[in-house]
Structure 1
Amino acid sequence: SPGSISILGDGWVICGDVLFKGSIGRTDFPRSSLQQIHESIREKLMSLPPDTVVYPGHGPSTTIGEEKESNPFLHLG
């Protein structure tokens, strides 16, 4: 979303409220966009190695590989 950042470390990423274990961030807020969040996830996060640990803004951690395989919100076409 506009103004958001992710912090990338050695084998990990803190992504705030963009990607969660089995879900994605909300897009029902003003200035948010489902298309934009999908583009950000696809272009920036899903390009990371599958074993990259994802630390969302809240909730359990996950990995890029796990989300590629099982996150239903990333397979909506």
Structure 2
Amino acid sequence: MIDLSHYVVAGEILGTSDKVEDYFDKLLERSAGMHARVSSGEWIQVDIGVDGDHPMLEHFTRWWRKGMVH
């Protein structure tokens, strides 16, 4: 089970990079399940807003899809 929000907070990730994507790909390949919450580089869980307009939601959505494929 993986919760990427912890990695985002611990790494103070405020977006993404090739290094982050490579690292998360390896983690997602080895995970059997995921906790789905959106975090920022400062908070473990953030409000994504009524319209889902938090800037990190795009990244988490992509990571969750990759995890489900694996």
TM bucket by the smaller chain?
0.3 to 0.5
More strand by share: 1
> Normalising to structure 1: TM-score of the pair?
0.34
> Normalising to structure 2: TM-score of the pair?
0.37
Q: Relative contact order (alpha carbons < 8 A, sep ≥ 6): 1 or 2 greater?
A: 2
More helix by share: 2
